[in-house]
Amino acid sequence: MIEDDAALLPQRFRLPGGHAELRAPGVIELIPDTTRGQAAATMISVGIHGDETAPIELLGRVAARLDAGQLQLAAPALLIVGHAAAIRAGTRYLETNLNRLFQRDGMHADDSRQEISRARVLMQAVDDFWATHRATGDTAAPDAVGVPLHLDMHTAIRESRYPRFAVEPFSATATPTEVWPVLAGAGLQAALSQHTHSWTFSHYSRHYHGVCSFTLELGRVAPFGANDLSALEPMAELLQARLTGTPPPTDQAERMAFFQVERELMRTSDDFTLAFSDDIANFTRFDSDELIAMDAIDGETRVGDTPLHVVFPNAKVERGARAALLVRSVSAPSS
């Protein structure tokens, strides 16, 4: 499924319970012979950042089980390996961050950077898939099996107080309450809701197609072969349930910690520093008036009256890019 290997794959091949069709380099649609009940479509994407290998290995394991006949395809799905060139290079990206480019009006026709070209291919694949399969599910379905999902799987560049957590893209439509127990059952320990548009891949499905979607952070970045996939077996069970159209394992949503983004911390100038060590863990708490960052243009950023937690801090981002999320603790969504 890696882009340059696309020519080695047949355009269509049989699978137990259905068949697969190559839609674009690194993009394969799974089409069941018969869809089980009200089972909805699923998009599963990995490798949007090339050095985040655990999700690639996890999807490969699930695909191998399907190919070996251990699973029977009974629901439509689109499998995406995002950025083959960065995967081969073992880097997050080559020229610019692919996971900030999924905005229709923000793409420049004359920009030839690899990530922008790839974003165009992926957006078209997403548009085509949801144009066909968005109606196969119902966001008001009685259980999560009938809710269309996009699961964009990543790993974080640093340690986290919650190693496995979901980022809910900004949307005026709330996530169906029956989805949260599914994420808890898949081993997610926390959920973070965005407060504004972020133009990530998961945001694209939710914003442009109204599909319930998440960026899933599944541990920490590691090279191929160094990932402990046993910790991700509950997530594998969720993926398998989606492909087979069966109810996934669930757990109480209240077991997860929930957060809401208060603001994005942006790097405005070249002279920018974060006021803490580079190895600080995601979701570290900062209390009232504590210093977070210093920028030659924007000055100091300090915590207000309500304690905040820092997520995705990175002082080395490009100027004008997000250097951290500042988030506050909130209650679990009511059922």
**Has 217 been annotated as catalytic?**
yes
E strands present in the chain: 12-15, 18-24, 27-32, 42-46, 77-81, 149-156, 164-168, 190-193, 212-220, 257-266, 272-274, 284-286, 291-295, 299-302, 308-311, 322-330
Residue tagged active-site, from 217, 233, 237, 290? 217
Supply angle C-alpha 278, 280, 284, rounded to 5: 145
- Ramachandran area for residue 199 (φ above 0: left; ψ -120 to 50: alpha; else beta): left
The residue whose two tokens read 């304690």 is 307
Q: What are phi and psi of 86, to 5 degrees?
A: -70, -35
| Six token digits for residue 72 | 């029977």
CA distances in angstroms from 194 to 106, 152, 281, 293, listed in the order given: 20, 15, 19, 21
Q: Would you state the structure tokens that stand for residue 14, as one six-digit string?
A: 């049989």
Tell me the H-state helices in the chain.
Answer: 54-67, 84-89, 114-133, 179-185, 201-209, 233-244
Residues annotated as catalytic are 217
